[in-house]
Amino acid sequence: MRGGMGLGAMARGGGPGLWAQAKPTLQSSPWVVLRRLGGVIAEYRRALLFSFVLMLLAAGLQMIPPVATRYVVDVLIPAGTPSQVLLVGLALLGLYALRFGLLYWNRYTIALVSQQLVYSMAQRLFEHVQRLSLRFYERQGTGDIISRATSDVGVLQQALTGQVVGTFVSLLTMLAYAGIMLWLHWQLALLVFSTVPLLLLASYLSAEALRARYSRVQEKISGVNAVLAENITGVRVSKAFARETEQLQRFQARNRESLEANLSTATVQSVSAPLIQMISTLGTVLVLFFGARWVAEGRVSLGTLVAFVTYLTAFYGPLEELIRLNATIQQALAAAERIFQFLDEQPEIVEKPGAIDLPTVRGEVRFEGVWFSYEPGKPVLQDINIVAPPGAVIALVGHTGSGKTSLVNLIPRFYDPERGRITLDGYDLRDLTLRSLRSHIAVVLQETFLFAGTVRENIAYGRLEATFAEIVEAAKQAHAHEFIVQLPQGYDTYVGEGGVLLSRGQRQRIALARAILRDPRILILDEATSDVDTETEVLIQQALERVIRGRTVFIIAHRLSTVRNADEIIVLDHGRIVERGRHEELLARGGVYRQLYDLQFATTGV
């Protein structure tokens, strides 16, 4: 049962296999995704409009050279005026210099917008994920979350800015070229337009194939990241069991799946690109065949044909570019859909309108007929009734899986009960703001987690505005000061990712100092002394006796030495309270608590 999981396992997203299997599929219409992307891009509409105008001007300047070429071929060369040809050449040189300047500012603007886009999207995604409930982390792997916040956002960075502006400009440019070709010679233009439906059909078919394949590519990238993150986190376990080869094989399998998914998209592109070029070549062949005949017959001037072929190449350029961009656009749609899936996730633990802030808390906690389950029909807590007066120490004991951790997880509203209610000073927890509730609670996890930073920063995490003197005092109370000052840089020593550079016992004492510094009204200790030696445990117990005074404390422990002085010991079995009382009373009854005592602790002389 879930009650046997530590708060640490909960915090890192452990959970039943059911959640891990219930991953969403990509089924949204591309038009729906495009509409939502339009809302994202609209935040940068001024910069994008500026870029659009620049590209439009540059495209307009590009249309002038073919007309100038026609004028030179049909007028200036037959007239024998080389000086005027030179003037036209110089004018074209100035035109290209101006076009270069326009394209420079366009690309600079696009780069600026793309960086702002990736920053804001990553920030928005992270902020939203931070608000989601723990069930979200139970069903989503770490690699999947990281991939959507990095890889998918990066895809949008590449595709959603410059490509979007370029798409609109290419469409307008193509229409302009089409109009000019109609003006030059409408019969030749109709020959060109006859190939457009074939190009559009090829584009549509490749779009449908690419979008599905790019969705699979992004999913496989998530799988690779998941294995990588898991292997880095569990590197000590894999080395201890000499499983490096098996881990490598596992990574190779996921990497192979990613490779195959990418090759699948490459297959579609390798077919669609030559097909599009072949269709474009067909249009060019038609124009050259009929154009040459009509020039010979005197129906078309040579300069007109030269200008028309130049515009034809320019016409197919944007059209082919649009179709080639299809792959990028489909990849962006797949990435955007995955991002929007996360943004559409709604937290299960939410504040009701008008939630109350509690500036001061006495610390009375009540469980009134509480039922709770992780999966429907499989309760892990059943009809729990507890009254913890202010300043009381409540100890929770029981076999693994009895529901101890699940019970304390309800106090900071990591989850909500299905039935019954939990109150703090008479207020239903669901009537309080989450920040107000959790600001009065501190938790020391069984599986300690430290952030990648210094010792000082990890202790100060309990209260960011704390002074250094307060940090040192909290460390002393947790009996951590002695080993901290012996570290290379003392309190400024880097602890490594997850505190990997410290021993488990050292991490445990830093976590305890962090909780002490928070100075909470409610303190939850989940096996808080499980990773320290007996001598240190005695010292910490002495410190805790001072720390817990005036606070409501919930203790989960298997060592009875940590709970024997509790005001009330609650014995859980399969999610139900089977015994309650003080240490001596429960021993005298000879029930479940006595059995736990005899099995686990009698031989230690406790």
User: 544-588: per-residue pLDDT in tens?
Assistant: 777 777 889 999 876 666 678 889 999 999 999 999 999 889 888
DSSP summary character for residue 494 = B
What's the CA gap between 436 and 361, in Å, rounded? 10
Task: Write down the CATH superfamily of domain 38-344.
Answer: ABC transporter type 1, transmembrane domain (1.20.1560.10)
| Secondary structure E strands in 187-312 | none
Strands ordered across the beta sheet of 393-398:
441-444, 522-526, 552-556, 393-398, 568-573, 576-581
DSSP summary character for residue 560 = G
pLDDT of residue 540: 67
What's the CA gap between 148 and 146, in Å, rounded? 6
Indicate yes or no: pTM above 0.75.
Answer: no
Domain ranges, ordered by start, for the chain: 38-344, 365-440+524-529+556-606
What element of type H or E holds 125? helix 82-131
Produce one character per residue of 329-343: b if its CB has 16 or more CB atoms within 10 Å, e if not: bbbbbbbbbbbbbbe
What's the CA gap between 266 and 242, in Å, rounded? 38
pLDDT of residue 28: 64
Residue pLDDT, tens place only, 64-112: 777 777 777 777 777 777 778 788 888 888 888 898 888 888 878 877 8
Question: Which pLDDT band, with edges at 50, 70 and 90, does 320 fall under?
Answer: low
pLDDT of residue 108: 82
Q: Which among 533, 537, 557 is positioned nearest to 545, based on CA atoms?
A: 537
Secondary structure (3-state) at 368: strand
What's the CA gap between 428 and 416, in Å, rounded? 11
What's the CA gap between 192 and 186, in Å, rounded? 10
- Among 52-61, 537-546, 564-573, the range of highest mean pLDDT: 564-573
Question: What burial class does residue 81 get, using C-beta atoms within 10 Å of its C-beta: 0-12 exposed, 13-18 middle, 19+ buried?
Answer: middle
Secondary structure (3-state) at 601: helix
What's the CA gap between 52 and 58, in Å, rounded? 10
Q: Are 295 and 307 in contact (CB under 8 A)?
A: no
- Among 330-334, 381-385, 521-525, the range of highest mean pLDDT: 381-385
Q: Which range has the worst mean pLDDT, 129-143, 153-167, 438-452?
A: 153-167
Phi/psi of residue 523, nearest 5 degrees: -120, 130
Query: What is 365-440+524-529+556-606's CATH number, 1.10.10.60, 3.40.50.300, 3.10.20.30, 3.20.20.20?
Result: 3.40.50.300
Handedness of CA 169, 175, 181, 183 (dihedral sign): negative
For 146-158, give the DSSP string.
HHHHTHHHHHHHH
What's the CA gap between 558 and 527, in Å, rounded? 7
pLDDT of residue 265: 79
389, two tokens:
């007066």
Query: Stretch 355-378: mean pLDDT, rounded?
Result: 90
